[in-house]
A and B are shown apart, each in its own frame.
Chain A
Amino acid sequence: MLAVRRGKKVEFSPEVLEQAQQIIRRYPEGQQKSALIPLLHLAQEQFGGYLSVEAMDYIAELLHLKPIEVYEVATFYSMFHLKPVGRYVLEVCHTGPCEIKGAEWLIQTLKKKLGIQEGETTADGLFTLRRVECLAACGYAPMLQCGERYYEFLDTEEKVDALLEQLRQNAIT
């Protein structure tokens, strides 16, 4: 198993637990397993941006599933991170339409500016750089996703600098 143990139990706060229960109630009687992917998103968001073994076991418990049913789903989907990541995960689309508009340029530029390779995290824990497949922003390339947002038309060094600066500022405030 590729996933990481964090060494201590995790659980949702009462408010988040209520949110989780609401999600579970959206599905028909007896079909609570449908809530698995939404709850894994919630867990990833709540527990530091990745899914530790403990986080997955906790979700299994909430949904009355066997842990393996959670692991096999968590490992199938590319949005779930099984290892710790930086505060901002920069996910650059490198599929065809983005490639012809400079996706490789954007990736190399970010590597150089951040001093990391793909898949790595900066020493200050702020940025992780990844390649991802088409994000349905093909007309607005080159682009990347970070958190809840897309950043599009990142075609000059100035724009890349401005984005990194903005994220660094957000981290402080």
Chain B
Amino acid sequence: MRRLLLLEKAHIEEIDRYDIYRREGGYTSVEKALKSMSPQEVVEEVKKSGLRGRGGAGFPTGLKWSFLDKKSGRPRYLVCNADESEPGTFKDRYLMEKLPHLLIEGLIVSSYALEANRAFIYVRGEFKWIIKILERAIEEARTAGWLGKNILGSGFDLDIVVHPGAGAYICGEETALLESLEGKRGLPRVKPPFPAVVGLYGMPTVVNNVETLAAVPWIVLNGGDAYASIGIGKSTGTKLISACGNIKKPGVYEVELGLSVEEFLYSDEWCGGMEGEYGLKAIVPGGSSVPILPAHLALKTASGQPRLLSYESMADGGFETGSMLGSGGFIVYDEAQCIVRNTYNFARFYHHESCGQCSPCREGTGWLERLLHKIEEGHGTLHDIDLLWDVQKKIEGNTICPLGDAAAWPVASALRHFRQEFEAHVHQPQQCLFRRRASFVFANASVEIA
């Protein structure tokens, strides 16, 4: 059965406009929370729901909220992370385009729970049209009385500001995001202190992903227990998966957690199977930062259980044979894809995006990129492959923020599962699938590949 908690109304015409959204029952969670619940009761429902952060780490949202320093009485902030820059991930964009008022509704009830009077939406700067959509929706909500002073006569005040980024993957990391929001370079902070105590402008702050906040209205309306009854085990509720790569139907899908990868990939209701004549080679299930899984481990765990779209099943087998649900960026590779090329591409990405604060990341990502480039170009040696393993090991766990790990894991997992392909690049570089495929694709366009 297909249950939609987030996107149920996404297909209603003009649902991005206030009148339509309200007609369809929008903002009732704000009425319920502000009129009949205390902030603490909202926090409790979110705790009960088992909702976990949808930005990538999967940290329990209610627990994070309960860490927020309310006692000191300093101003508190809620910051919505709409930086969406993890390769393979394009779900928040969809949600904000289709249902801007759902995000605003989520921000209002969440700010109420956190007793925060100012919320920010940090949107990646490239999403210029989304910034306009959000600003219009905020204006509509303000006019209708859902924002501003003394909302619904409850005594609760809230303002929401949309703040643009300017092109830097690292600003998706929550402390880099806060630096950026303060008008500085996006350099991650050393933790602790955590944002819950020292966040934006040094004040207690909660940072949550767009999808996380959009899940809150349903929880407030239907109760934490109802949410927890959906999904599987500790992976409660639904998750947006953005599917891309060599599949028939790329796009954004809402799945109940616990759906099998096999069904998601092959059913016509979802990805619709592989796009062309080639079979499945590998899947990166949770955005570019998570380990790549070869076909057999993508569909089944090492112990032979079906692999499910859930936090636990994805991680089954640890990094030896498992991966992570991450942000839900689901990248599918067919047998014509070159894993070395893809690993090189990601290493190049992380090197480009490293903020440069810590040397293992700054230097290490450069080493990864250069070694992989050399191997991909057909000039590598077996020693380079060992060196690659060594370099990624030295980055992992030795950096200020998790970008270092995110750069190391794709390399480690590609070497673990596809070592023979790296060795083949040393012995028979002309067999590189990227080059062969490129020459085929490029033949029609009469252009040369660099």
Give the interface of A toward B (CB within 8 A): 26-28, 31, 33-38, 40-41, 63, 69, 72-73, 76-80, 94-97, 99-102, 104-105, 108-109, 111-112, 132-141, 145, 147-149, 157
Contacts and interface: CB of A to CB of B under 8 A. Distances in A.
A100 B246 contact: yes
A133 B163 CA distance: 21
Interface stretch (B14-22, B144-152, B165-173, B223-231): B165-173
Contacts of B353: 133
A77 B166 contact: yes
B88 A108 contact: no
A159 B125 CA distance: 26
A134 B348 CA distance: 12
A111 B185 CA distance: 32
Contacts of A105: 438, 441-442, 445, 447
Complex A-B, nearest 6 residue pairs according to Cβ-Cβ distance, in ascending order: A139-B250, A77-B166, A78-B167, A33-B183, A36-B183, A79-B167
A38 B164 contact: yes
Interface in B326-376: 329, 331, 333, 337, 341-342, 345-346, 349, 352-353
Contacts of A145: 126
B190 interface: no
Given A31-B182, A31-B201, A95 B125 contact: no
A77 B341 CA distance: 27
A63 B333 CA distance: 48
Most chain B CB within 10 A, of A76, A149, A157, is at A76
10 contacts: A37-B166, A95-B349, A96-B88, A99-B342, A100-B342, A104-B449, A136-B84, A136-B93, A147-B128, A149-B129
Contacts of B245: 97, 100-101
Contacts of A95: 87, 288, 345-346, 349
Given A37-B125, A77-B166, A27 B161 contact: yes
Given A96-B88, A99-B342, A138 B331 contact: yes
B8 interface: no
Nearest to B331: A97
A148 B246 contact: no
Interface residues of B, number: 61
Nearest to A108: B447
B250 A134 contact: no
Interface string B94-124: 0000000000000000000000001000001
B56 interface: no
B441 A133 contact: no
A109 B252 CA distance: 29
Given A38-B163, A97-B244, A78 B445 contact: no
Given A108-B445, A149-B129, A41 B166 contact: yes
A138 B89 contact: yes
B186 interface: yes
B114 to A, nearest CB: 17
B212 interface: no
Contact of B349 (A96, A102, A112): A96
A69 B179 CA distance: 13
B163 A136 contact: no
B210 to A, nearest CB: 11
Contact of A108 (B89, B180, B449): B449
Contact of B244 (A37, A73, A138): A138
B184 interface: yes
Nearest to A94: B345
A33 B182 contact: yes
Interface string B234-263: 000000001111100011100000000000
B450 A97 contact: no
Q: Which of B89, B245, B246 has the most A CB atoms < 10 Å from its CB? A: B245
A99 B166 CA distance: 23
A138 B242 contact: yes
Contact of B129 (A41, A136, A148): A148
Contact of B447 (A34, A112, A139, A140): A112
A130 to B, nearest CB: 11
B181 interface: yes
B448 interface: yes
B157 interface: no
B77 to A, nearest CB: 9
B85 interface: yes
A28 B201 contact: yes
B264 interface: no
Given A96-B349, A139-B90, A41 B164 contact: yes
Contacts of B244: 97, 101, 138-139, 141
B166 A80 contact: yes
B176 to A, nearest CB: 10
Contacts of B118: 28
Nearest to A141: B244
Nearest to A91: B126
B69 interface: no
Given A73-B184, A95-B345, A96-B349, 12 more contacts: A77-B186, A79-B125, A79-B126, A94-B345, A97-B88, A100-B333, A134-B169, A136-B93, A136-B126, A138-B329, A138-B331, A140-B90
B242 A148 contact: no
Interface string B392-418: 000000000000000000000000000
B160 to A, nearest CB: 10
B421 interface: no
B86 interface: yes
